[in-house]
Structure 1
Amino acid sequence: MAKRKLLKDVDPQAFDTMLGFEKYLTTSSLSKIHAELIKIRVSQINGCSYCIDKHIQDALKYGEQPRRIFLLSVWRDTFLFSKEEQAILALVEEITLIAQHGVSDEVYDTAITVLGQQYTTEVMMAIIAMNAWNRVGITTGREPE
C-alpha cells in the first residue's frame, strides 16, 4: 500500500473543520480525564492504533491511572469506574456502534439522569468527534509515532 496523505496536507480547510470540534470541546465543561477515556474507548472499538497510543499518553499526562487504562475495554467487569464514567462509557459504546441497534432509551436516560443534559451533550459531541477522527486516521493509514 502506498503511503496515504494526511488530511491536513491535502485539504487544510477540512482539517480546520475537524479542529473546530476540538476547540468546542476545550471550551466545554468536559473533564480532561473523561475526554481521554472517551477518546481511548472509541479508538479501541474502532481499532485506531494511532489514536489509542496518542490518547493513552495524554491520559497518563493528565494523571489517569495505568490500571484503569488497562481495564478500560472491560470496564463493566471492574469496580474502577465511577457511576458517571459508567454512564459515559455505555454511551460511548452505543454511539460508536450505532448501526448495530441505535442508542437505547436505558443508556440515554441513565446518562441524562447521572450527568445532566448539558454534560451528556458535551459527552455526545466528544464521542462524535472521536469517531470522526478515527475514520480520518484509519482511512489515511495513521500509525503510532
Structure 2
Amino acid sequence: MSARVRIDQQSPDVYSAMNRVVKVVREQATAAGLDRALIELVNMRASQINGCENCLDAHWRAGTAAGLTPQKLALLPAWRDSQLYDDRERAALAIAEAVTSPAAGPHLDDEQYAAVRTGLTDDETSMLIWAAITINSYNRISILSRHPVPVRDAEGRAVAGGRT
C-alpha cells in the first residue's frame, strides 16, 4: 500500500489559497463583531462531528487561548442539553452542525433558521457559515492526508517520543 498523499504538501498553491480564505474569514468575522472563542466553538464542533483528530488538537488549544473553558469544550457534544452556552453560542453551534452534516441533519428549515438568526446580524451569520465551511474543508484535508497528531502532556506540549 502506498503512503497517503499529503495534499497540502502535494498542492501547496491550492493549500495556500485555502489559508488566505481562512485569513479573510477571520478578519471579516472580527470586523463583524464575532470573537475568536465563538469561531473556535464552530471549529471544535465541526471537527468533532467529522472526527478530525488533527483539527481537534489544534482548535482545543486555540479555543483555550481564546478564553474557552475546559468545561465548555468538554460539554460541547451535549451543547443542546447544557445551560452553559449562551444564545449566540447556540446559534453558532446550530450553524456549524447544519453546515457539517447537511445530508444527515439537523437541517435548518426556515423557522429554525429564523430562530438561529435572532441576535445575529447578516454579517455575523455570513461569517459563522463561512467559518463552518472552512473548518469542514480543513477537516477533509487533514483526515484524507492523515495528518499526524503529537502526544501532548497536561500543559499541551508535544511529548518527545510521542506519535508524530
Report the TM range for the smaller structure's normalisation: over 0.9
Give the letter for the 1:53 counterpart: D
Q: Which runs of structure 1 show a deviation greater than 4 angstroms over 4 or more consecutive aligned residues? A: none
Measured in 2, the distance between the counterparts of 1:104 and 1:13 equals: 37
Measured in 2, the distance between the counterparts of 1:123 and 1:107 equals: 16
Q: What residue in structure 2 maps to residue 52 of structure 1? A: 56
Q: What residue in structure 1 maps to residue 65 of structure 2? A: 61
- TM-score using structure 1 length: 0.92
CA deviation map 1:66-119 (0-9, x unaligned): 000000010011111001111111111111110125432233212322212110
Aligned residues: 145
Measured in 2, the distance between the counterparts of 1:63 and 1:3 equals: 38
Alpha-carbon contact 2:42-2:92 (below 8 Å) kept: yes
1:119 matched to 2:124? The reply is: yes
Q: What residue in structure 2 maps to residue 13 of structure 1? A: 13
Identity across the alignment (%) = 31
SS in 2 for 1:114: coil
- Point out which structure has higher relative CO (alpha carbons under 8 A, 6+ apart): 1
Decide which of 86, 89, 96 is 1:85's aligned counterpart: 89
Give the letter for the 1:122 counterpart: M
User: Which segment drifts farther, 135-144 or 42-51?
Assistant: 135-144
CA RMSD after TM alignment: 1.5
How much has 1:2 moved relative to structure 2? 4.3
Structure 1: unaligned runs, 5 residues or longer: none
Larger radius of gyration: 2
Question: Whose helix fraction is larger, Structure 1's or Structure 2's?
Answer: 1
- TM-score using structure 2 length: 0.82
Measured in 2, the distance between the counterparts of 1:55 and 1:9 equals: 21
